[in-house]
Amino acid sequence: TPGVEIGRRHYPLTVPFQNGPTSGKDVFVPLDYIIGGQKMAGKGWKMLVELLSVGRAITLPSSAAGGGQAAAWSSGAYAQLRKQFGLPIAKFDGVGEALSRIAGHTYVMNAAISVTSGAIDQGEKPAVPSAILKYHCTELGRKVGNDAMDIHGGKAIMMGPRNYLSRGYMATPIAITVEGANILTRSLIIFGQGAIRCHPFVLRELHAAQNEDEQQGLADFDQALFSHVGYAISNLARSFFLALTHAKFSNVPLNTPTRRYYQNINRYSAAFALASDFAMLTLGGKLKIKELLSARLGDVLSSMYLASAVLKHFENQGRRAGDLPLVEWSVRTLMYHAQEQLHSFLRNFPNGFLAGVLRFFIFPAGL
């Protein structure tokens, strides 16, 4: 196109990019060239954001998972070949612990991508899961990279043609930064979107409040509000019962070695719903600026989603016995993280009395 200048490429952290700055002078763009035609003029940002909910669940998470798999294969092989004191370093407990984390984190990433991609293939636009995957897969990829570097030691820090880790390690912050910086994603987006989109009544209340037909809107709002109150009360009772019994009587569809994990997810789902309702009820719009509270609730939501994805992936793969240790490690780690983030949420809740009430119903036995 006359007047358009292209050709330069970005070069972030020594990684060649296929995109770069585009500039132009006296460039004529016909209205027919606008995607969607003249009626879509001025709506480009809206279209980009809508596509982001799909692309964000695929590109960066799959890159992180691919890096995790490469790190798992290379670190496992290197730990068997590299010897110290006459023994392969894989025999040392410290190295074995790092290898376990690499394998477990990589399994979580693969499971999350597989399950979420399946939903996208069926026509879904998973805005909240895409934010969860973008944040957690890139963060897990960073952890895997750190462990792989530690295992390889000096081999990983000397640049050269035989160093297969250094470039990927250097490029890690790129995935952390683009398509929504991770700090922003965790602090605002995951719970900020999830609290509304995943709640059975909040979205209905918002739509009713915005209804131009005041009479119909008031009727719809009243119905949604009373349903919301009933839902909160039922969550209160359900959370207390599941916590008191450690969810042993929670109804789950499978009688397999993973049965208890489904029950634990049920327990923390009820606890999360209860904490979210009370946070929105007492803090209202201030919850948006209470970013650490929002982030902790987002961590609980993310842990449950990732644990559910791990269990679903295990079923989709035919319950392979060799995968069971990875499944157990992954779900236990994720649910422990959910538990600790709920504790942190309650410790930092601004209303101490209400935090004590919530703690009684969520952790009646202290755990």
Catalytic residue list:
179
Distance separating alpha carbons of residues 139 and 112, to the nearest angstrom: 13
Distance separating alpha carbons of residues 136 and 304, to the nearest angstrom: 12
Long-range contact pairs involving 258-266 (C-beta distance under 8 Å, separation at least 24): 258/311, 258/314, 258/324, 258/327, 258/331, 261/307, 261/311, 261/327, 261/328, 261/331, 261/335, 262/311, 264/331, 264/335, 265/304, 265/307, 265/308, 265/311, 265/335, 266/242
Distance separating alpha carbons of residues 56 and 60, to the nearest angstrom: 7
Helices (H), the chain: 44-55, 59-81, 93-121, 127-152, 154-157, 166-177, 182-184, 190-197, 202-209, 214-244, 259-283, 291-316, 324-347, 352-362
Length of the chain: 367
Question: In 3D, which of 126, 99, 97, 76 has the Cα closest to residue 308?
Answer: 126
Question: In 3D, which of 171, 164, 148 has the Cα closest to residue 102?
Answer: 148
Distance separating alpha carbons of residues 23 and 152, to the nearest angstrom: 44
Structure tokens at 30: 């016909």
The maximal CA–CA distance of the chain, rounded, in angstroms, is 81
